[in-house]
Amino acid sequence: MNCSQNDVLNIKDLSISYPYGKKWVLDRLSLTLRDGERLALLGSSGCGKSTVAKALLQIIPQGSICKGEILLKGNDLLKKSNEALHKLRGELIGLVFQDPGTRLNPLMTIGEHLLDTLYAHYPDQSSSLRRIRAEELLDKVGISSQRFNSYPHEFSGGMCQRVAIAMAIALNPLLIIADEPTSSLDVAIANQIMGELSFLCDELGSSLLLITHDLALASRWCSRMAILDQGKIVEECPTQELIQSPKSFIAKRLVEAARNREELTLLAKPLEKVILEVDRLRCWHSMGGMPWKPIWVKAIDEVSFSLHIGETLGLVGVSGCGKSTLCRALLGLIPIRGGEVKLLGRNLATLKRHDLKIARQSLQMIFQDPFASLNPQMTVLETVSDPLLLHGLATKTSAKEKVRLLLEQVGLIPADDFIYRLPSHLSGGQQQRVAIARSLALSPKVLICDESISMLDLEIQADILDLLRLLQKNLGLAIIFITHDLSVASSFCHRVIVLDQGRIVEEGPAEQIFRAPQSRLTKELISSSPTITSAF
């Protein structure tokens, strides 16, 4: 493969094997990215997509075997010194990771993250100029400069991702690698962020390598696609050609999964009996101010709704609108400032400690990132049995049998193949099934799913949605389904609530809201939601 002057990146016969693995994660991979081009790298979970990003910056685990060539404007990155690589990261290549929560220092403010990045590369620049640039970057990704001194834990997942993107574009790099950059963002913000990245490419002539499992997102923003399967490129062509006539088996599966996802249908109707009632709920966070004039962030402000047995209630809205705050308040993880939460007619705020503990068993949560929600040192058996033992509902012996039944219930069969595994030995879909099994251990009546499929590829998303439907039908579960994906909410949920700045701006049957939205925000979310049928 000859390197053209128009190529910003030229990967030739790249093979990588991790020290703890027996197989090649990447197997003689070759890929070219031209100046100013936007290329999407797609594939199923575990195909090696993220390893490509790590290889480009040489941040693969120590002891890994790495062979081949990675040419950036003709310079082989595999032959660079550590000092040269340090300068390269940020100035020539900007990388946006998938999970910003693990990349931001909890002891540093948001502004300090940006200032630190700028200082590392421009130590002679004045502090005032660095401050101006940092605030400019926050503005580019939709964050007010008033949040400059906020800490990562005070930001939603989507806002943290925007900070990570601001850090990646801080030095105007020649190449931007975006590794699942919008998986934790709502569609409106995702559309805005991808618009900013695309604008940067156009303005500076930068190239974009978008690593994603979202075919619809890729088809909207990238002109060319490369399909990765088991460490090899199995198909590479213009986006429109791949969508209309995929050639490889994996490409056909991805296109089919994307089309099926846009055509989901409901399977069951909820009962009329109400299981959960929320009345004028308020969750306000203090932001300081004077004692006589405090400043409040009204994360949840006078929210009221009901949830029926067997119903799936979708909760949508832009990042930071209060979706996750609402669910944490329902679970009692954060204090409420006013209003009531009733479970089967009982006000949770009036229950004594023992009665409240029992009531809380009926409310369980499935988190966004399955790996982050599981203790990396605990086996599947320990993870799923832990709530049973904590609540005194089983002995160690009986808990083991209960765990087997739960694993079979969520499709991890045979259970004995999984009970002694650690989370790192499971795929993303298997990790989420374990998390679901753990949430079912206490026989809940309400499941709260907080973006529980957003970090999974399309095929696994479909599997998890089918599993949740089956569990709902068999167990009579009520589900609160937080999502930024309108295509899922419109068909997986019976009813949808749209939140904006802590308030409900629209509520109704999912199909009706998707077909004829009334509020400005809902219209924006729907227009921003990418689909492969509307990509061209």
**Please, what sign has the CA dihedral across residues 263, 268, 269, 275?**
negative
Q: Report the chain's terminal Cα–Cα distance, integer Å.
A: 32
Which domains does the chain carry?
Answer: 7-261 (3.40.50.300), 274-362+442-534 (3.40.50.300), 377-426+434-441 (no CATH)
CA distances from 51 to 182, 403, 509, 525 (A): 18, 33, 42, 32
Q: Which band of pLDDT confidence, cut at 50, 70 and 90, is reported for residue 266?
A: very low
Could you tell me which of 100, 105, 108 has the C-alpha nearest to residue 150?
108
Could you tell me which of 39, 438, 437 has the C-alpha nearest to residue 211?
39
Mean of all residue pLDDT scores within the chain = 86
Is a pLDDT exceeding 70 seen at residue 217? Answer: yes
64-68, 120-124, 291-295: the lowest-pLDDT one: 291-295
Could you tell me which of 164, 109, 108, 173 has the C-alpha nearest to residue 141?
164
For residue range 445-495, list pLDDT tens digits in order. 999 998 888 777 777 888 888 889 889 988 889 999 998 777 788 878 999
CA distances from 271 to 79, 268, 396, 476, 511 (A): 65, 10, 36, 9, 19
How far apart CA 229 and CA 32 sit, in angstroms, is 17
- In the block, residue with structure tokens 């109400």: 274
Q: Tell me how many degrees the CA angle 89-90-92 measures, rounded to the nearest 5.
A: 80
For residue range 157-181, list pLDDT tens digits in order. 678 878 888 888 888 888 999 888 8
How far apart CA 354 and CA 40 sit, in angstroms, is 53
Which pLDDT belongs to residue 533? 58
For residue range 298-352, list pLDDT tens digits in order. 889 999 999 999 999 999 888 778 888 898 888 888 888 889 999 988 898 888 8
